[in-house]
Amino acid sequence: TISINVSPAERGSGVGRMMLALACDRAFDQGFCTSVLAEVKSDNVSSRRLFTGAGFRLVNQCDGWLQFHLGASRTIG
């Protein structure tokens, strides 16, 4: 599971995507995991956009939460 928080002043600058890519690439390269699961509140449009834009795919929806998945074989875009 991954959680990313970006200060309001930095939102929209691409820093969130860079942090996400770095964390996933490092975890995959070091063999810490073979996939990443992100849980996002369904009303959090910015986070939904971040994860889908990075190649995560929606795999589950329940009680106001969305789960996005990325496997190690996928490239963060």
The tens digit of pLDDT for each residue in 8-43 reads 999 899 999 999 999 999 989 998 999 999 999 999
Put the strands of the sheet holding 35-41 in their side by side order. 35-41, 65-71, 57-62
27 vs 18: CA distance, rounded Å: 14
pLDDT band at 4; cut points 50, 70, 90: confident
22 three-state secondary structure: helix
Indicate whether 3 pLDDT > 80: no
Residue 20 belongs to what H/E stretch?
helix 15-29
SS3 content of the chain, % helix, strand, coil (to 5): 35, 25, 40
